Amino acid sequence: MTGEVQPRRRQIQLTPEEQKSFLRDNRKAALATLDKDGFPHLVAMTVGVRDGVYYMTSYAKAQKVLNIRRNPNVALMVEAGAAYGELKGVMVRGQCEIVEGGDAVRDAWAVISGIDNAPRRKETNDSAAKRVVLKVTPRKTVTWDHTKLGGRY
């Protein structure tokens, strides 16, 4: 049918290029894991994306890592905007793989920084042995850009 109005959900989706650009410009994410009692454990993280996979690092003994070892199902949200009409974001539900080893951590830092083979500060390199990579492979991705509503909200 011509002239049919798209559902709002489709109207506000980010295109693949918009999503890529948004994730390049916005690195702060909220990572949700489940604790041993089944309650959400929500933490702020810095994230990088390569080939549709999300990378973060954490100290191996952190609560979020313990939670992921028990249950690899996670949610990750990157968002921006202050007012409702400005909100943009990407939410991912997926599986989180824990990758160990200093080289893997340094590779993840390159993805997170957006600069492959980026030089690392000594103190950052010194912590690599104590850290792990959190590698999230999406099962479901939802995006939104309320600016596409043109003030209709």
Does pLDDT of 16 surpass 60? Answer: yes
Question: Which range has the top average pLDDT, 59-63, 122-126, 128-132?
Answer: 59-63
CA distance 49 to 56: 9
Half-sphere exposure of 5 (CA within 13 A, CB side): 4
Tokens of 48: 């990088």
Provide the H-helix boundaries in 46-138.
63-70, 102-113, 122-127
What pLDDT is attached to residue 115? 72
pTM score over 0.75? yes
What pLDDT is attached to residue 124? 58
pLDDT tens digits, 34-88 = 999 999 999 999 999 999 999 999 999 999 999 999 999 999 999 999 999 999 9
In angstroms, the Cα distances linking 75 to 49, 125, 141 are 15, 28, 10
CA distance 33 to 68: 7
**Region of residue 91 (phi > 0: left; psi between -120 and 50: alpha; otherwise: beta):** beta
Fold of 8-149: Pnp Oxidase; Chain A (2.30.110)
Domain locations in the chain? Answer: 8-149
What pLDDT is attached to residue 122? 45
